[in-house]
Amino acid sequence: MSARLENVARRLARLPPPMMLASLYAALILIGALLLKTPLARNIPLSWSEVFFTATSAVTVTGLSVFDVSSGLTLFGQATLAVLIQLGGTGLMVFAVLILNSLGLPVGITGQIYLREDLNQHSLGQLAALVRTILKIVLLCEALGAAVLMLSFGLDFGFWPGLWHAVFHAVSAFNNAGFTTLPQGLTPYIVDPAVNLAIPLLIIFGGIGYVVIQDVARQPNWRAWSLHTKIMLVGTAVLLPWSVGMFAILEWTNPLTLGALESPAARLVASWFQGVTTRTAGFNTVDVAGMHDSTSLMIISLMLIGGGPTSTAGGLKVTTMVVMVIATVAFFQRRSQLHAFGRGIELEQVLKVMALTAISLMLVFLGVFVLTISHDGHFLDVSFEVASAFGTAGLSRGYTAELSGFGRIVIMAIMFIGKVGPLTLGFFLATQIPPRLRYPAGKIHLG
């Protein structure tokens, strides 16, 4: 028996780091589903399909749910969900390194390679320092967020129940998950100051990336920041006002969303919350199903973009879209070299952006195509659901509960690929095979 286990361990050790990480996340989903299936975790009967869907949604920090978490899960079940969100959002290897360090055990070169892939880093240097920084950021942000949320939840539910709701929502918001333990979600808090301050800020800090936060905290000087940090901050500074402003413009008179609020100030507050949460988090204070089709299409595009690398967010990532825009501008200006903020961008990075974008769009198209075959007549709802699953955003037009068993499997697969897909793709992109032959250049007519 021990020989078989050793043989299995050797085979697993030979797996490429991204595939190994994908296997670890799959194992975490399995463990989470088994825990949620126990009577200790649930108040209602839950099928295997429901617990696996919920566990997958939690580990991939998506937030889509096929049942009401507030009434369907016990306190133990909700705590299990919070742990799955924390592990999935912050990263399994980060917690593994923290546990090994606390026990005084070395991480080893293999563990460092897995950690590098999990954090989407290019080198092994400074990984331990980055892990410590991540731990500090996570604890500080979630503690401050829970303290602010207690100003509202503590008054509404009492100290201990309010504290649990505050902690759960802080974990869910910082990890951009979108799960809620409240029966009506956050819709009753549409103009609540504490909720509209804490939740969006947690989403922004969680989605902008640990590397950016570390860079800004260490060197509060624009010129000293890395190219990655500058691109992320500029991209976020453009996308946030765009999403908030466009949501306000498109939904201002919609009686099912902003139009139901009397004061302009209340509509602006609701637009701020929904504009921030759109790209990655999945919380909502207005009826998503009541939005105009134009607003839904805008939200689909934002969910596909997502947040930043080395963050709790999903999607194509802001840096990917910015590099694509830079490459497009360079093409029309007939420039062969790409640069931004006084730094060059290598051709390999552009090729990676093209590959990520092409594969992601093909995956989303395939998901929509497959679901429309089995769920005919709901094209916008299906497209919204698939984009939300791939971007691990968690918003839904109320269609998640309508999914068939086959539809749940498709959405689970898309959520999982949206979480670990870039890691696997990055491994294959990093594998260089030197060409044996050089061919003469040919002409291709494009466009």
Percent of the chain exceeding pLDDT 90 equals: 51
User: pLDDT value at position 281?
Assistant: 85
**Residue 158's CB: how many other CB atoms inside 10 A?**
10
Q: Indicate if the pLDDT at residue 141 is higher than 50.
A: yes
For 243-286, write each residue's pLDDT tens digit.
999 999 999 999 999 999 999 999 999 999 999 998 888 899 99
The three-class DSSP label of residue 339 is: strand
Q: Indicate if the pLDDT at residue 337 is higher than 50.
A: yes
Its sign, for the CA torsion 202, 208, 210, 215, is negative
Query: Do residues 396 and 388 make contact, with C-beta atoms less than 8 angstroms apart?
Result: yes
Q: Model confidence at 356, in pLDDT bands (50, 70, 90)?
A: confident
Q: Indicate if the pLDDT at residue 332 is higher than 60.
A: yes
Q: Indicate if the pLDDT at residue 347 is higher than 60.
A: yes
Name the nearest CA neighbour of 109 among 127, 87, 135, 130: 127
Q: Indicate if the pLDDT at residue 98 is higher than 80.
A: no
The three-class DSSP label of residue 66 is: coil
Average pLDDT over residues 115-128: 50
How far is Cα 217 from Cα 129, in angstroms, rounded to an integer? 14
For the chain, give every domain's residue range. Answer: 15-429
User: pLDDT value at position 274?
Assistant: 96
Instruction: Find all residues with CB under 8 Å of 257, minimum gap 6, and list them.
Output: 251, 270, 286, 287, 290, 291
Q: Could you tell me the CA-to-CA distances from 57 to 26, 99, 340, 377, 403 in Å, in that order?
A: 12, 25, 36, 25, 14
Average pLDDT over residues 85-111: 57
The tokens of 188 are what? 């009753």
Percent of the chain exceeding pLDDT 70 equals: 81
User: pLDDT value at position 134?
Assistant: 78
- Look at the pTM and tell me if it is higher than 0.85: yes
Q: Could you tell me the CA-to-CA distances from 168 to 19, 34, 81, 255 in Å, in that order?
A: 30, 21, 9, 31
Q: Indicate if the pLDDT at residue 209 is higher than 90.
A: no
User: pLDDT value at position 118?
Assistant: 46
Q: Indicate if the pLDDT at residue 146 is higher than 50.
A: yes
Q: Model confidence at 443, in pLDDT bands (50, 70, 90)?
A: low
Q: Indicate if the pLDDT at residue 71 is higher than 80.
A: yes
Q: Indicate if the pLDDT at residue 4 is higher than 80.
A: no
**Residue 38's CB: how many other CB atoms inside 10 A?**
14
For 390-438, write each residue's pLDDT tens digit.
998 989 998 898 899 999 999 999 999 888 765 565 555 454 555 566 7
User: pLDDT value at position 346?
Assistant: 87
Amino acid at 277: T
Query: Do residues 29 and 61 make contact, with C-beta atoms less than 8 angstroms apart?
Result: no
SS3 content of the chain, % helix, strand, coil (to 5): 70, 0, 30
Q: How would you class 83 by CB atoms within 10 Å of its CB: exposed for 0-12, middle for 13-18, buried for 19 or more?
A: middle
Q: Write down the mean pLDDT value for the chain.
A: 84
